[in-house]
Amino acid sequence: MRVLVTGGGGFLGSAICRQLLVRGDEVIAFQRSAAGELESLGIKVTRGDIVDAESLITASQGVDAIIHTAAKAGLSVKYDDYFGPNVTGTENVLNACRRNGIEKLVFTSSPSVTHADGDIEGADESLPYPESYNSPYPETKALAEQQIMAANCRELRTVSLRPHLIWGPGDTHLLPKLLEKARHGKLKLPGPDKLIDTIYIDNAASAHLLALDKLETQPGVVGGKTYFISNDEPIAQGKIIRGLLETAGVTVDIQAVSPRLAITAGTVIEAGWKLLGLKSDPPLTRWSAEHLSTAHWYDISAAKRDLGYRAEVSIAEGLKRLASTFQTQL
């Protein structure tokens, strides 16, 4: 199969590219920057931006499927920063599929599209979208996911995956941010004992390959559906944060703070960022404080049943693998 991966040089995208290559697929990584490491493996890298419709149409000519991982994430408070990559970019991916007769599309969504303001414990895909969002990231990802699901038809089969908190070797977002915040040996957290889902990078990547294969063999089963994906090991936030930091040799004292105080602080900081027109991501927003204050873990029975998904790498094994990457850097 000839597969184009948008965001192919990113954390998740590059893992998907490698797994596709290992099993014998022809892989094209579509992304904005160079990716010498992927090219050295024999993966074709095509430079482009998903907000540029024509470059995407050109890059996807002759491919059998697209795995769409490219997106804008983060805590920026500017809606327009997200709408282009997440909504317009997804529209462009769909249009490229239609123009080039591509029949299979796997989309990387996020469980945050269902997050309101309370605990989510063991919820499945029947969990509705909230009536409103207080952050542009989940709102634009929800709009994109809805586009993907609505586009499913006989000519174009689509499926959406919602992996939660991806981590592992090669992570350039979660662990670096944790290391920066823990540099003084202390970390404040409003919900250290709240259970959350996470997913090891190899498990997240393999779920995308499983979804792609099911679109080929059982399109009537998975087409037009969304699936929560995780390691299926809900774990206390404080415990997984400590575990991740310890792989880098960092021991941290996690101090519990009042969720109400954290949410108030996030709201004030977010308002200040908007008022001053700052371009950088704020250290805390109302949405991120609410997210850190609540449990969010999911029932992945549907993914097990329809995709045949299983977390092949446990959290314990994943932490060992992550620690080994730091040891080789010493």
Could you report the per-residue pLDDT of 291-305, keeping only the tens digit for each? 889 999 999 999 999
Q: Is residue 236 part of a domain?
A: yes
Would the pLDDT of 34 be above 90?
Answer: no
Would the pLDDT of 77 be above 80?
Answer: no
**Percent of residues, the chain, with pLDDT higher than 90:** 72
Angle 94-311-165 from CA coordinates, rounded to 5° = 60
Q: How confident is the model at residue 240 (pLDDT cuts 50, 70, 90)?
A: very high
CATH number where 119 lies: 3.40.50.720
Mean pLDDT of 180-199: 86
Would the pLDDT of 267 be above 60?
Answer: yes
> 277-310: buried (b, 16+ CB within 10 Å) or exposed (e) per residue?
eeeebbebbbbbbbbbbbbbbbbbebbeebbebe
Q: Is residue 306 part of a domain?
A: yes
Confidence (pTM): 0.95
Mean pLDDT of the chain: 93
Q: Is residue 99 part of a domain?
A: yes
Count the neighbouring beta carbons within 10 Å of the beta carbon of residue 170: 16
Q: Is residue 233 part of a domain?
A: yes
Q: Is residue 167 part of a domain?
A: yes
Q: Is residue 329 part of a domain?
A: no
Residue 309, token pair as written in the block? 């998904």
Mean pLDDT of 88-110: 98
Region of poorest pLDDT, from 193-207, 229-243, 260-274: 260-274
Provide the CB-side half-sphere exposure for 12 (13 A, CA).
Answer: 31
Identify the residue with better confidence: 78 or 232.
232
Q: Is residue 118 part of a domain?
A: yes
Cβ distance 32 to 94 under 8 Å? Answer: no
Would the pLDDT of 203 be above 70?
Answer: yes
Pairwise CA distance, residues 232 & 297, whole Å: 8
The 10s digit of each residue's pLDDT in 112-157 is: 999 887 899 999 999 999 999 989 999 999 999 999 999 999 999 9
What range does the domain containing 63 cover? 2-324
Q: How many domains does the chain have?
A: 1
Would the pLDDT of 329 be above 70?
Answer: no
Q: Is residue 330 part of a domain?
A: no
Mean pLDDT of 87-109: 98
Q: Give the catalytic positions in this structure.
A: 137
Would the pLDDT of 330 be above 60?
Answer: no
Would the pLDDT of 271 be above 70?
Answer: yes
